[in-house]
Amino acid sequence: MNQFMERAVELAIKNVHEGGQPFGAVLVKNNTVIAEGVNELHKNYDISGHAELLAIRRAQIELQTNDLAGFTMYASGEPCPMCLTAMYFAGIEKVFYSNSVDEAVEAGLGKSKEIYEELTKEKAERLLSMTRMELNNGQANPMKLWIEHSSL
Q: Which of 52, 106, 114, 117 is catalytic?
A: 52
Which residue, among 66, 68, 59, 52, has the nearest Cα to 8 in the 3D structure?
A: 52
Concerning whether 125 is annotated as a catalytic residue, the answer is no
Give the separation between CA 127 and CA 132, rounded to whole angstroms: 16
Which residue, among 111, 30, 37, has the nearest Cα to 76 in the 3D structure?
A: 37
- Residues forming a β-bridge with 95: 73
**Catalytic residue ranges:** 52
